[in-house]
Amino acid sequence: MKHFLSGIALALGLIVGTLPAHAAEGAKVELMKSGADVRDQASLQRGARLFFNYCVGCHSLKYVRYSRMAEDLGLTEDEVMKNLNFTGAKFQEPVISHMPAALAGTWFGKAPPDLSLEVDAKGADWVYTYLNTFYLDPKSPIGWNNTTLPNAAMPFPLWELQGMQSAQMQPAKDGDAAGVEKLVLSHPGKMTPAQFQQATRDLTSFLQYVSEPAALQRHHYGIWVLLFLALFTFLAALLKKEYWKDVH
């Protein structure tokens, strides 16, 4: 029993020791709970539609192929090629933005990052919070700012859906610069706040899927693995009892 408990403690220590950096950095920003769920296929489909309508113009998903995405999201080749493929790529090719590489840095100061591993690097809650915390900033060169990632170079691509938020600033204290106290929706968009939160939850779920497409299969097979382990443990216990019955 002592060896068993020691093994569990070691495993937990390894898990904690290898947590991604965003888990430790979360204290710097009060993150919103995303509620992202890669097992919700309808949510993934809606998130994919949002990504390909509002994000693929600048951002790639170079580790995901259209064909793999279609299989995982329950879509046909025809549905993907007609409704999600706007770059002229082939069905077996990865998702690459159609923004000219030579102009990407000129337009935004630096090339927009590939988002294949964005959720894996920063966490679903961070991405969800980031999508919900853009606000108008006349001092910014692009006219937008973000409380989660201040001075972000990206303009807000979903402003038509959410509308425009304005920042209410809190006064400076103890020599610190004034900061954003809260965001207020000053110009409503096409969606209500609740609808927009669901939309960004869907987009976050899709990006979470993209970060680890194999997670869908892992979740599917996980229950069978647990059942096998339970059966094996039962059989091992019976075998032990049979071997040691004469000793006891």
**What is d(CA 185, CA 163) in angstroms, rounded to the nearest whole number?**
7
Residues contributing to the annotated binding site:
55, 58-59
Confidence of residue 105 (pLDDT cuts 50, 70, 90): low
Residues contributing to the annotated binding site for heme c:
55, 58-59
Residues contacting residue 46 through CB under 8 Å, at least 6 positions apart = 199, 202, 206
Confidence of residue 63 (pLDDT cuts 50, 70, 90): very high
> Which domains are delineated in the chain?
29-165+191-240 (1.10.760.10)
| Maximum CA extent, the chain | 84
**What is d(CA 188, CA 197) in angstroms, rounded to the nearest whole number?**
14
The secondary structure of 83-111, three-state, reads HCCCCCCCCCCEECCCCCHHHHHHHHCCC
Whose tokens are 């923004």? That residue is 99
Residue-wise pLDDT for 12-62, tens only, equals 443 334 344 444 343 366 899 999 999 999 999 999 999 999 999 999 999
Instruction: Please name which of 184, 192, 181 lies closest in space to residue 136, comparing C-alpha atoms.
Output: 184
